[in-house]
Amino acid sequence: MTVPDTVTGSARRPNVVLILVDSLNRADLRCYAPEAPAPTPNVDRLACRAWRFDNHFVGSLPCMPARRELFAGFKEMLWRPWGPLEHVDRRLPRLLEAQGYATAIVTDHYHYWEEPGNGYLQSFQQTELVRGHEHDNWRGVARDDELPAWVENIERWRPGEGRRYYANIRDFASEDDFFPARVMDAAARWLDAAPPAPFFLQIESFDVHEPFHVPEPYRSLFGDPSVYDRFTVWPPYQDVAALERFIAATTPEELAFIRSQYLAKLAFVDARLGAVLDVLDRRDLWRDTVVVLTTDHGHDLGERGVFGKQYPHWDSHANIPLLIHDPDRTGEGRSVRALTQTVDLHATLAELAGGDAEAPHARSLLPLLDGSGGGREALLYGTFGEGVCCTEGEWTIFKSPTGGAPLYAYSGLLSKSLVHAGLEVPVASGRFLPGIDYPQWRIPVRHEPRSREDFLFDRRSDPGQRRNLWTQEPAQRRRLLELLRALIEEEGAPPEQLVRLGLAR
């Protein structure tokens, strides 16, 4: 890692702009991959000012578990599935508010206003919600509508979902109506209205999330628009059986089309991001504003016959982008190679604001930027109920459940989970979370893991993670299993997690 010659010591509290672009693939950003096919001039524009983190990883997946890490500094993948903030959770916007910050969020990420996403938006002083993406119940669905061919193609694999989305966007007349434009323009207006300093603005674009439906001119940038009515812009992946049927029926031409529309959406998001950066330029906000750009996870696009961000968590969606511009610790496009995770942004932003950075699982990244150390020797990541992943930078291990062991969720709430219908009646209550005085429920969970295969990869010789060395490298396998066990114990995870993963001593 390269560090600046001098660091400006300052007691001031900088403004903070956190830009979260959902499902953003690192390998499709030119600041990470110069030969990437989609132009991303505005991300590059930020990257030229920022520190570029090269070994930044997910923690808890997918969407809302990742956001709980950002908001609360708690890595929940071994404790509970997708759900609301707990009453004992730290709330990053409230921590900054206590330090005198004006806080606001602009987002079209509709999971925030669903029942299992309660508590996040309520943490801000101001919210601007852009309605209508994906399954958002914004407009009524007419069952007798005549659907365009591209919507029928979605319905073939996702019954009801294409119709729901189409009801929301059917009246869109220009690119200004689409979600990246509305989110970025609203955020730019908020910044341009001269908010009181210091401020914290969280900008969340649900795009480049699927469905990969974009207007012209983006639709035609990377593929033939004449095939638009032949293929789907929204492959199934949450349902394992549906994904298997889709992969068996699809063609290389359709897979190439889907990727072209992901790239089109990325180009669209990048183009509209320019409105936010223009305000930072015009108002000379760069000199007193920390700007962070990252994602919750990437999105596989048919590699290995899979889509989305499901376990196993290959680097293609688990090694994610992070750019940080800090006017007191100038990055200027330089790289940070230390291992870092999503949860670390919680402690980093809390410390920048002068607040308490002592979160359960988060570590501040500021020592890395100061050149005084920091980073992690190894890290854990995964999805509740699935296998657990571990890397120390050079090797990566995916340890899947062995079967037969119980799975429990731990929560102070009895709430619905978006992704786990199999939550049962609690069997116990107690103080199961380290450092938390309030009791929690122990709730049995019925869940069939997506994979029971174990994997071991050498990231140096096999960056694409194509060669599973589980059998060929027994010494490395034993070393990584010991490291994995130690990290699970260090994070204070429930003991049955070691049993279900076959790691109990």
Q: What is the mean pLDDT of residues 362-379?
A: 93
* Single residue among 322, 354, 377 that ends a domain in this structure: 377
Q: What is the pLDDT of residue 372?
A: 87
Q: What is the pLDDT of residue 416?
A: 78
* Single residue among 343, 358, 377 that ends a domain in this structure: 377
7 part of a folded domain:
no
Strands (E), 241-321: 289-294, 300-301, 307-308
Q: Are 366 and 391 members of one domain?
A: no
469 part of a folded domain:
yes
Report residue 1's pLDDT band, with 50, 70 and 90 as the boundaries. very low
Q: What is the pLDDT of residue 403?
A: 78
- The candidate with the shortest Cα–Cα distance to 32, out of 316, 248, 277, 280, is 316
Is residue 292 classed as helix, strand or coil in its secondary structure? strand
The domain that holds 148 is classified in CATH as: 3.40.720.10
Q: What is the mean pLDDT of the chain?
A: 94
Chain segment 279-295, per-residue pLDDT in tens: 999 999 999 999 999 99
Distance CA 400, CA 419 (A): 19
Q: What is the pLDDT of residue 288?
A: 96
Helix and strand tally (H, E) in the chain? 13, 18
Is residue 20 classed as helix, strand or coil in its secondary structure? strand
Distance CA 360, CA 50 (A): 27
Distance CA 194, CA 190 (A): 8
CA 445 to chain centre: 24
- Residue 7 confidence (pLDDT) above 70: no
Q: What is the mean pLDDT of residues 382-404?
A: 95
Chain segment 132-155, per-residue pLDDT in tens: 999 999 999 978 778 999 999 999
342 part of a folded domain:
yes
- Residue 10 confidence (pLDDT) above 50: no
- Residue 363 confidence (pLDDT) above 90: yes
Distance CA 110, CA 449 (A): 27
Chain segment 310-332, per-residue pLDDT in tens: 999 999 999 999 999 999 999 99
Q: Are 336 and 407 members of one domain?
A: no
* Single residue among 377, 409, 444 that ends a domain in this structure: 377
Task: Choose between 414 and 486: higher pLDDT.
Answer: 486
Chain segment 87-96, per-residue pLDDT in tens: 999 999 999 9
2 part of a folded domain:
no
- Residue 307 confidence (pLDDT) above 60: yes
Q: What is the pLDDT of residue 11?
A: 60
Distance CA 256, CA 238 (A): 21
- The candidate with the shortest Cα–Cα distance to 352, out of 10, 48, 60, 5, is 10
Return the percentage of the chain with pLDDT > 70, whole number. Answer: 97
442 part of a folded domain:
yes
Chain segment 420-459, per-residue pLDDT in tens: 776 788 999 999 988 888 999 999 998 889 999 999 999 9
- Reading the block at residue 107, the tokens are 């987002």
Own/partner pairs for 160-164, CB < 8 Å, 24+ apart? 161/134, 161/135, 161/234, 162/211, 162/234, 164/134, 164/135, 164/137
- Residue 111 confidence (pLDDT) above 80: yes
- The candidate with the shortest Cα–Cα distance to 109, out of 217, 204, 213, 5, is 204
Q: Are 198 and 75 members of one domain?
A: yes
Chain segment 244-257, per-residue pLDDT in tens: 999 999 999 999 99
- Residue 278 confidence (pLDDT) above 50: yes
Q: What is the pLDDT of residue 358?
A: 85
Q: What is the pLDDT of residue 295?
A: 98
254: containing domain: 15-377
H or E element at residue 86: none
Q: Are 366 and 386 members of one domain?
A: no
Choose the weakest-confidence range: 36-45, 63-72, 432-441: 432-441
The structural domain count of the chain equals 2
